[in-house]
Structure 1
Amino acid sequence: MVISGIVPDVTPVHLVVIAIASVAVWIGSAWLETSAEDLSAYYGLPPVVQGSVVVAVGSSFPEFASVVIAAFAGAFDLGVGAIVGSALFNVLVIPALSGLSTEGEELDANRAIVYKEAQFYMIAVSALIITFALAVIYEPVESADALSGEITRPLAVIPLLLYGLYLFIQWQDVGDHTPGDEGEGVDVLPAWGKLAAGLLVILVAVEFLVGSVEFLGAALGVPEFLAGVTILAAATSLPDTLVSVRSASGGNGTTSLGNVLGSNTFDLLVAIPVGVVLVGSLTINFAVALPLFGVLTLATVLLFTFLRTDLTLYRWESYLLLLAYAVFVAWMVTESIGATDLLKAA
């Protein structure tokens, strides 16, 4: 990892690196997101596709980069932890903050968000759990902790194919959409250049972020997976928070919620499998992953239930989502100090 040759192994220095890298991720993601919005308008994409694919993929690049960099650094548990923790943050905290940032009493959704995006996201969670289970069944790692398995490239193809189906569904929506004149005046070449610059800034910042989080986790005795679920997940979720809250405060609940669900779908079906494809094969501790994916499933069902109520997210429901995330963080703290032991071999 590049950071090992640049940053001294001193805890205060790594804390500063995490802060600076988080700001850099925020700046790079802002460039990426604004350019993605301009390109979506230029190419005439409907709002739900703009939120769930273009903006979502852009704002998910920090998580994607964290998985790839962590995989090459031999810290795959850290990257997977960041994905799961970020997914929980996305479905609980970001919709809540978006709902509280609206001028009215609720955040409006629509049937496309509830019946397509939310339900497909639940399918994505199930597909990744099945992929991990297949790794334990068919590629068990005997020398590792109990219920560990090796995710190979053929297994990684399963979620990638499912994401291909997701893109096909979105492409069908694009064909049914009649674009307006929002793309007039967009200078497409500078927009593509700004998008590339944002990706580069994020890639470099996440390299330092992953390295510092890995060092702090080792120094404090925090397992890689738990460090990823908490510290790294919160840092990489900043772009998604910015985009969704900004869209909600502007009265565009569809783009706000579409970004949340689309980001999570991309993270689960693309970020983790691509890390496997690039490295070749990676070991997953199913005893650690499954309880967290169970919590993620419950959080998704909670959000889905709230959104289905009159196709809106009410203010009191936003507070309940924040409370649910606080309970999750409290559980992570108890796991870290050894007060609970639900994450076996974490």
Structure 2
Amino acid sequence: MSNRKDEHVALALQQHGSAGRNEFDLVRFVHHALPDSDSDRSDLRTDVAGATWNWPFYLNGMTGGSTRTGEINRQLATAARETGIAIAAGSLSAYLKDASTAESFRVLRTENPHGFVMANVNANADLDGVRRAVDLLEANALQIHLNVAQETVMPEGDRAFGHWAQMLERTVQALDVPVIVKEVGFGLSPQTLQRLHGLGVQWADVSGRGGTDFARIENARRPGTDYDYLIGWGQSAPACLAEASLLPAAQRPHLLASGGVRHPLDVLRALALGARAVGVSGHFLHTLSTQGLDALIAEIHRWQAQLRQLLALVGCTNLADLAHTDLLLGGELREYCELRGVDVAALAQRQRTAAARCHPATVAPIETITP
């Protein structure tokens, strides 16, 4: 297990080096040149899992379970403490199988005693294991990851998934901390979100493709690399968020997003598409690995400053205002959304629609100029 965790980190870092464009690039804001906003008034606070976060992005679950990954977790926890952002553990499966790996995870709390820390287990974890994971980190919330595609390709992976829904429902009912169900990079469809809501899940991270591809990672660990055709499986985070809008808010969990987030504009895009907060893994892990802890802290501070400025750029004072920004979806993302029934034209007219709803008498039709 420890060797596998080290392999995952090495392969994830290799992927980051080859990362390029993804479907976040197919989400554009319509620029309006007279915004009623100021950067110093930008309010980036967001409510997640029973707490108010000062920043709408967080260090998402990455690793743990070996000496090397324990040191990575120590540095990530230090960065979270110094910048005030939330942090999630990588899967604690290694700890649940081997208690000697505890310190490689526990360091997330010891280095960050007052921060918002999320434990992470897979859907097979029983209640005893779940409670052990939460207690080890004194966790504020628990992530339960769904990773069918990864398990399918993983040489030693699980092959039985039919009991997962029952396990999820039992855990949600029994646990005292909020539960966040997340994918690991293949996306959550509206049907899945609706089913999760029916199981009592109140928070879900859509975690779409476009970032670290665990099908690719596990395929690289196979002697014959014979699952290469599953590389790129699933839906992107922007597609998942846009499609989730087809469900009434009362019929789905509150949404988080991750998967392929490379810079503050991607965070803003995900927030404008309906996410409450955005998880970042690959970019921050690469920064830490290549430049060190001080550089990671500086990078997170840079994201925080730029997010304030970007919020003002699109005419918003707080995150709720982002629901009224005009978004243009292009390329394969637009094609996917149209095929799935998302009204992409309505996304492009949200500001005007909101203004008409609040002040119908003051909204004049846009004049069409005839050549």
Give the alignment's TM-score, normalised by structure 1. 0.29
Q: Which has the higher strand share?
A: 2
- Which of structures 1 and 2 has the bigger CA Rg? 2
Q: Which has the higher helix share?
A: 1
Give the alignment's TM-score, normalised by structure 2. 0.28
